[in-house]
């Protein structure tokens, strides 16, 4: 899984690239990646599916994660950032 | 359609076929029948018979009313105030009226809480801003059932001088009709009448000015003469459904509560809308929406179809639409795997209680099977 390398050399953000897939695939991809990430991990979901906007937020609420931001990644895709809660398994 | 309305429609093909605007005896007969139907359906929307116009459908009536109310107020402004869960046609009208200025259109959209209800004070504040032409608010939302604070918003609209269009297209025959509105729109399909009968009630004194050439039909508010048999069938449906409304609503609330409890007991199912047991001030009695995490709506619709149940979906993953339901998104609910249930009126579904019991019996297994097909049972 690609990640963003922080100044201290640690991988601080996990990126899930679901561009081109349609609902519910982006959220399934995100949940699969989250299942192997430690609590507190910041994750990014990249998606072109318009349903991801509502569903990332709803998934965070249902799972107790913290939704951080949504922004345009490129003309087609959006980037959703969230932090996993401490007790995620 | 209600069985009595079907019979009325068949009989009216012989009796009321003529154009009610002509002078020969068949037309005069059709005219009398239309007048009788108008008296009955005026009660449905809570206005005097003289203030009711028939339009070719609920959406058509909503758009005509917005055009005419907006045109009459064009010197005050051109923007629309509406809840974030209004009908798509209404919200699109607002974008169009704002002339493509996204900020102007967005400024008039009043957010809703997590059950889909607007705050009456926030709605009043939005109507009080400069540049507002017209406001629109649903009595109840057809997708999640949420009832809006219509009475408070009607009062606030009068104080601010903004005409408020009340969209009762989902609620007539299911909830008591809102009283004392300035402009109200209904659709005969909500009370098991035929498709194609829109009801528009405009209280005298309301500034209502359709743009374009003057029409002489339906108080100058329609461009088509209503088809009399269709309107007679609508009136008969209203008579029947209104007669048993309270008892039917109570029974529907029990059934919806049963489905809701079954859905809520399934892991990772997000149930939207108010608790059905809160009553007529909170929700429609016969509507329920829930969303199943990690599943696509189309798969669920097809699975229920194989069990003989016709359900709808507000998910983007159905074949027909790309965008998910703006109603669910505005409420912050899950949009994937969405299932929308609308119970028919009791008279058209004699086995409703047994059907609901069977639906509740298959619901958990349908969800489990869809998740197994997608390989997401471990998430």
- B376 and A28 within 8 Å at the Cβ level: the answer is yes
> Is the N-terminal amide bond of B36 cis, ω within 30° of 0?
no
Token couple for B337: 């795997």
Domain annotation covers residue B379: no
Q: How much is the pLDDT for B103?
A: 83
Residues B197, B274: one domain? no
Residue of A15, A23, A42, A70 marked catalytic: A23
* Predicted confidence (pLDDT) at residue B334 exceeds the cutoff of 90: yes
Decide which of B14 and B303 is more confident: B303
The CATH number of the domain holding residue B77 is: 3.40.640.10
Neighboring chain B residues of A23 at a CB cutoff of 8 Å: 296, 315-317, 324, 335-336
Q: How confident is the model at residue A5 (pLDDT cuts 50, 70, 90)?
A: low
Report the CATH superfamily, name and number, of domain A3-83.
TusA-like domain (3.30.110.40)
Count of structural domains, chain B: 2
Residues B326, B213: one domain? no
Contact A26, A45 (CB under 8 A): yes
Q: Which of A45-49, A54-58, A85-89, B97-101 has the lowest mean pLDDT?
A: A85-89
The CATH number of the domain holding residue B282 is: 3.90.1150.10
Q: Which residues of A touch B (CB under 8 A)?
A: 22-24, 27-28, 31-32, 35, 49-51, 53-55, 57-59, 61-62
Residues B148, B191: one domain? yes
* Predicted confidence (pLDDT) at residue A78 exceeds the cutoff of 60: yes
Contact B140, B147 (CB under 8 A): yes
Bridge partner residues of A5 (DSSP):
A11
Q: Which domain holds residue B338?
A: 245-374
- Lookup result for tokens 């409420």: B331
Residues B223, B343: one domain? no
- A54 and B270 within 8 Å at the Cβ level: the answer is no
Question: Span B348-365, mean pLDDT?
Answer: 95
The torsion angle over the Cα atoms of residues B355, B10, B61 and B201, rounded to 10 degrees, is -100
Domain annotation covers residue B43: yes
Of B211, B242, B273, which one is at a domain's C-terminal end?
Answer: B242
**Model confidence pLDDT, tens digit, residues B237-286:** 999 999 999 999 999 999 999 999 999 999 999 999 999 999 999 999 99
CA A60, A61, A67 angle in degrees (round to 5)?
Answer: 45
Decide which of B12 and B72 is more confident: B72
Q: Which residues contact B246 (CB under 8 A, 6 or more apart)?
A: none
Of B194, B214, B242, which one is at a domain's C-terminal end?
Answer: B242
Residues B87, B204: one domain? yes
Q: How far is CA B276 from the centre of its chain?
A: 17
**Model confidence pLDDT, tens digit, residues B188-209:** 999 999 999 999 999 999 999 9
Domain annotation covers residue B39: yes
Domain ranges of chain A: 3-83
Which residue, among A18, A20, A24, would best test binding to B if mutated, counting the most B CBs under 10 Å from its CB? Answer: A24
């Amino acid at each position: 899984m690609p990640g963003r390398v922080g100044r201290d050399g640690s991988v601080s953000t996990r990126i899930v690239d679901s561009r081109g897939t349609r609902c519910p695939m982006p959220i399934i991809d995100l949940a699969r990646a989250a299942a192997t990430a430690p609590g507190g991990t910041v994750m990014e979901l990249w998606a072109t599916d318009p349903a991801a906007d509502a569903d990332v937020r709803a998934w965070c609420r249902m799972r107790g994660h913290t939704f951080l931001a949504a922004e345009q990644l490129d003309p087609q895709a959006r980037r959703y950032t969230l932090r996993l809660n401490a007790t995620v398994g | 359609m209600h069985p009595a309305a079907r019979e009325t429609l068949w009989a009216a093909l012989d009796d009321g076929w003529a154009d009610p605007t002509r002078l020969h005896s068949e037309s005069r007969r059709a005219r009398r029948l239309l007048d009788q139907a108008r008296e009955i359906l005026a009660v449905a929307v809570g206005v005097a018979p003289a203030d009711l116009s028939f339009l070719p459908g609920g959406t058509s009536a909503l758009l005509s009313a917005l055009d005419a109310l907006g045109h009459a107020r064009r010197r005050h402004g051109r923007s629309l105030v509406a809840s974030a869960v209004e009908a798509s046609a209404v919200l699109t009208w607002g974008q169009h009226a704002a002339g493509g200025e996204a900020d102007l259109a967005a400024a008039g959209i009043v957010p809703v809480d997590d059950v889909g209800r607007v705050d009456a004070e926030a709605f009043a504040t939005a109507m009080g801003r400069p540049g507002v032409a017209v406001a629109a608010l649903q009595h109840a939302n057809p997708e999640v059932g949420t009832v809006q604070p219509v009475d408070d918003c009607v009062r606030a609209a009068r104080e601010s001088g903004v005409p408020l269009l009340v969209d009762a297209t989902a609620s007539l025959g299911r909830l008591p009709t809102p009283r004392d509105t300035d402009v109200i729109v209904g659709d005969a399909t909500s009370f098991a009448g035929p498709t194609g009968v829109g009801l528009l009630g405009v209280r005298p004194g309301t500034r209502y000015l359709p743009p374009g050439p003057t029409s002489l039909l339906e108080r100058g508010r329609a461009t088509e003469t209503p088809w009399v048999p269709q309107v007679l069938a609508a009136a008969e449906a209203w008579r029947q459904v209104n007669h048993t409304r309270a008892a039917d609503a109570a029974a529907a609330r029990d059934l919806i509560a049963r489905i809701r409890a079954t859905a809520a007991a399934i892991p990772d199912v997000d149930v939207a809308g108010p608790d059905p047991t809160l009553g007529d001030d909170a929700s429609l009695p016969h509507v329920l929406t829930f969303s199943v995490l990690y599943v696509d709506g189309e798969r669920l619709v097809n699975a229920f179809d194989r069990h003989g149940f016709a359900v709808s979906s507000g998910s983007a993953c159905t074949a027909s639409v790309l965008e998910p339901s703006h109603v669910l998104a505005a409420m912050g609910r899950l949009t994937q795997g969405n299932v929308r249930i609308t119970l028919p009126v009791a008279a058209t579904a004699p086995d409703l209680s047994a059907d609901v019991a069977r639906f509740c019996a298959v619901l958990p297994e349908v969800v489990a099977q869809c998740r197994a097909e997608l390989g997401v049972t471990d998430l």
